[in-house]
């Protein structure tokens, strides 16, 4: 089982499949980036995961579909309909149309995801993508706005990320709907039955953070019999992908692999991890982590390709995965 966001998460999952080709892998995917635009329900992390693992993603752009076109988006702009800043491709729109129609018909997101992934991953895949919750959760970021009466305003995470390029200081964050969200049916059991749980090197604030914030998730992880091994996405003090450095300060966490590991915390200390892997660039922090009660090792965490990703996953699992038997 893997907890993951979108772009980095899908690279990590591709590595895990390479490392354990015979494993049944369930990926708990963040849905707090989801947004409704032009009446279409868009799940960026689920889609990135689905396209990437189904061989349909654009490798160069890093998101969306290979061979994508923008006919509908350009035409919406001619109608003057906002928002126009989101990269809504034609192939992508087909996915959103199917999803939106199924949701409108009453299917929960998890079943919609299963239907969509059947095309990409087959009827009985060794890989299951499961949204963290069937409920609607959306991350909003509070930024300064001199024109607002309060001096601040909240924008959807996608607007902060895509339109504003994470340039404004993130003052606060609201995960709309998270308190009332429930784990996707069956997910707590899947966590309990897993024999290995990996936390992908995804954004700790807006990808892994929301998954852990769904009521019931932390307690499911706390009581899981499998070892929980996390992988740092901050290497040498900077994120490899994305802009986590713009968000970590908001939650009071240094942009530093060790700080993120301690933010997740060790299970023995009430956190979620049994072990935390950092990059060789951060090898100096391993002692500090160990002393703080979080077993840790350093290895090359750059996800050059599925092969190199598989290699560091295997390193971590060989070192810490034995916990399965011992617990």
Q: Read off the DSSP letter of residue 216.
A: T
The first and second tokens of residue 129, run together, are 């993508």
Per-residue x/- mask for a copy of itself, residues 77 to 96, rule CB under 8 A? -xxxx--------xx-xxx-
Q: Binder to a copy of itself among 61, 119, 152, 304 (CB under 8 A)?
A: 119
3-state secondary structure of 320: helix
The Cα 243–Cα 303 span in angstroms is 17
Rounded least distance, CB 284 to a copy of itself, Å: 49
CA angle, corner 220, sides to 53 and 286, nearest 5? 75
Q: C-beta of 76: minimal distance to a copy of itself in Å?
A: 5
Residue 249 C-beta: closest distance to a copy of itself, Å: 37
Interface residue with a copy of itself among 1, 116, 208, 213 (CB under 8 A) is 116
Kind plus residue range of the DSSP H or E element containing 93: helix 90-104
Cβ atoms of 171 and 120 within 8 Å: the answer is no
114 sits near a copy of itself (criterion: CB under 8 A): no
Residue 71 touching a copy of itself (CB under 8 A): yes
Q: Least distance (Å) from a copy of itself to the CB of residue 72?
A: 5
Residues numbered 30 to 49 that lie near a copy of itself (CB under 8 A) are 38-40
H or E stretch at 60: none
Q: Which residues, at least 6 apart from 95, have a Cβ–Cβ distance to it below 8 Å? A: 47, 50, 116
**Binding footprint of a copy of itself on the chain (CB under 8 A):** 38-40, 69, 71-72, 75-76, 78-81, 90-91, 93-95, 97-98, 100-101, 104, 116, 119
């Amino acid at each position: 089982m893997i907890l993951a966001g979108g772009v980095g998460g899908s690279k990590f999952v591709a590595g895990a499949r390479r490392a354990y080709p015979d494993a049944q892998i369930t990926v708990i995917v963040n849905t707090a980036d989801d947004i409704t635009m032009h009446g279409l329900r868009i799940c960026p992390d689920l889609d990135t995961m689905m396209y990437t693992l189904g061989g349909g993603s654009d490798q160069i752009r890093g998101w969306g579909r290979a061979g994508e076109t923008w006919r509908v988006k350009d035409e919406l702009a001619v109608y003057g309909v906002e928002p126009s800043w989101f990269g809504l491709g034609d192939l992508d729109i087909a996915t959103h149309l199917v999803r939106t129609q199924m949701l409108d018909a009453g299917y929960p997101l998890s079943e919609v995801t299963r239907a969509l992934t059947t095309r990409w991953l087959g009827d009985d895949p060794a890989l299951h993508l499961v949204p963290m919750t069937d409920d609607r959760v959306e991350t909003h970021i509070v930024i300064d706005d001199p024109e607002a009466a309060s001096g601040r305003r909240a924008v959807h995470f996608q607007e902060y990320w895509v339109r504003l390029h994470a340039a404004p200081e993130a003052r606060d964050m609201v995960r709309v709907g998270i308190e009332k969200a429930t784990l996707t049916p069956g997910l707590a059991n899947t966590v309990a039955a897993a024999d290995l749980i990996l936390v992908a090197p995804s954004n700790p604030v807006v990808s892994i953070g929301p998954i852990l914030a769904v009521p019931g998730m932390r307690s499911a992880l706390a009581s899981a019999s499998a070892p929980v091994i996390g992988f740092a996405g901050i290497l040498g003090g900077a994120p490899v992908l994305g802009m986590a450095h713009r968000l970590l300060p908001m939650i009071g966490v240094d942009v530093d692999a060790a700080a993120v590991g301690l933010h997740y915390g060790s299970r023995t200390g009430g956190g979620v991890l049994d072990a935390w892997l950092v990059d060789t660039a951060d090898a100096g922090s391993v002692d500090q982590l160990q002393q703080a009660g979080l077993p840790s090792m350093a290895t090359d965490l750059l996800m050059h390709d599925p092969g190199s990703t598989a290699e560091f996953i295997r390193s971590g699992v060989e070192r810490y995965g034995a916990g399965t038997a011992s617990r």
